[in-house]
Chains A and B, each alone.
Chain A
Amino acid sequence: MGSVSILLLMFCGFAFAALAIGLGNKLSLKRYNPEKGEAYECGMETQGTTWVQFHVGYYLFALVFLLFDVEIAFLYPWAVVFKEIGMVAFIEIVFFVLVLFLGLLYAHKKKALSWM
């Protein structure tokens, strides 16, 4: 069907969600109550603001992820042509992966991969 199908499914998802949420809004009974608009945190009144700076631990993982995600993106084209090229491709990829594996070991040594 060609590249149109991506647009088609984007539209389908959007239309489906819009239709369902719209229908829900139409059918549901609405009664205004200020209590309904409060944050649901176990019934107590909310203490302090939510939008705060977050723990840096999550970002360390995001950084290491970025490194390996790019590695995997490079591995895909290699995987397709690997069998045609043969031994040379294998040796090259061993070096490529080894360098990144050292990076993983370094991150492990620096305790970036252990929580908190």
Chain B
Amino acid sequence: MQLSISLLEITRAIDSWLNSIFHPHVAFGIELVLAGVAVILLVVAMAVLMVYAERKLAGFMQMRLGPMRVGKYGSMQAIADVMKLLLKECLVPTNSDKMMFKLAPFVVTVVSFMTIVPIAFARGIQLWDINIGVFYITAVSSLSVIGILMAGWSSNNKYSLLGAMRSGAQIVSYELSGGLALIVVVMMSGTLSISGIVQAQADGWWVIKGHIPVIIAFVTFIITSTAELNRAPFDLAEAESELTAGYHTEYSGMQFAMFFLSEYTNMFVLSMVAATVFLGGWMPFHIAGLEGFNHFMDYIPGIVWFFGKTFFILFLIVWFRWTFPRLRIDQLLKLEWKYLLPVSIINVLFAAFIALMGWYL
């Protein structure tokens, strides 16, 4: 007997209820609206939560308290920040390319929203189970570089341009090892769809049962996703001490907030991808042979597992930021082209060889 109600049953109940009242087309329309609202709420809630969590964690890592004034333990800090940004004037520099300047925040926001499409939050909770899910995410998430270059170029500011060019070189370079790291798991699962990859991990997460190649792939994926997100130690694109704020130097008010939001959205989407591909998505943790333990783990809902893993990876990314000093651009490109890329190419072949020999479980 199933004790807990799964999210899939709730969505199915809503679906059948809507279809029983309305014409199927109308019901589909209402479902679209519901899904859109849910995604927007998810993005906003995650961004607000992560801004607070990051500042609090940064405080604790530096033996400070972090935000404490707004609300209990500073819990309202992120909301106060949003209010402040809402009341700020959106300045447009006189000499900028005005249309591109105004369009850039839209591009980055749309791209970061689009990456959420194939993410599986729990069993059956997925906007669209695309059969090329992993490929779709790598393809779409790399489009954000266009928005960044647009912002940097149109600002007519040397810091912005330098930041955008650095960011472009960096995102473009690190995409390669990120893609190769995903290929290792795709090869072992034999499918590109997110739900398929999660299903392949029913008897153990890839990072555990995939042995050495998957662990190497996991580590490279975490490094490359940190770099693709332009976060410290790879935050050359917006290095405060050199470039003021990089490509969004000239942005203020809500336009700046959109860059900020899309950065955080990209961050949690990439963490979700890492959690799905390497840590088993919504699959619970099982140890073969321990029946009681496995049953206990099954009672924890899939969505709790999924968000738990996501937050674990987010914590890692925040931890990096307050641990490592920033790299120089030559060190950054050297790390990718001379170490990570050869290592991940050889790792793919190594994983293929192991899979061929049947040495993994």
List the B side residues contacting A16 at CB < 8 Å.
Answer: 40, 43, 109, 113
A50-83 vs B, CB cutoff 8 Å, 1 = contact: the mask equals 1100100010011011001100100110011111
B21-48 vs A, CB cutoff 8 Å, 1 = contact: the mask equals 0000000000110011001100100000
Give residues of chain A (10-31) contacting chain B, Cβ–Cβ below 8 Å.
Answer: 10-14, 16-18, 20-21, 23-25, 27-31
- The answer to whether B106 touches A69 (Cβ under 8 A) is no
Question: Is B255 part of the binding interface, using a Cβ–Cβ cutoff of 8 Å?
Answer: yes
Bound-complex Cα distance A99 to B285 (A): 41
Question: Is B112 part of the binding interface, using a Cβ–Cβ cutoff of 8 Å?
Answer: yes
- The answer to whether A36 touches B91 (Cβ under 8 A) is yes
Q: Given contacts A21-B258, A79-B186, is CB(A1)–CB(B35) below 8 Å?
A: yes
- The answer to whether A93 touches B183 (Cβ under 8 A) is no
- The answer to whether A41 touches B356 (Cβ under 8 A) is no
| Residues of B within 8 A of A (CB-CB), count | 78
- The answer to whether B128 touches A101 (Cβ under 8 A) is no
Bound-complex Cα distance A101 to B36 (A): 44
- The answer to whether A4 touches B32 (Cβ under 8 A) is yes
Bound-complex Cα distance A65 to B158 (A): 25
Q: A17-B106, A17-B109, A79-B186 are in contact. List 19 more A-B contacts (CB 8 A).
A: A1-B35, A5-B117, A6-B114, A12-B36, A13-B111, A16-B109, A24-B87, A24-B253, A36-B91, A37-B95, A38-B94, A39-B95, A39-B156, A41-B157, A62-B172, A65-B172, A65-B176, A68-B341, A108-B337
Q: Chain B: residues with CB nearer than 8 A to chain A?
A: 31-32, 35-36, 39-40, 43, 85-95, 105-106, 109-114, 116-117, 127-128, 132, 134-135, 153, 155-159, 161, 165, 168-169, 172-173, 175-176, 179-180, 183, 186-187, 190-192, 244, 249-250, 253-255, 257-258, 329-330, 333-334, 337-338, 341-342, 345, 348-349, 352-353, 355-356
11 A-B pairs (CB sep. < 8 Å): A8-B127, A28-B89, A39-B156, A40-B157, A58-B168, A61-B169, A75-B179, A79-B186, A80-B192, A83-B190, A97-B348
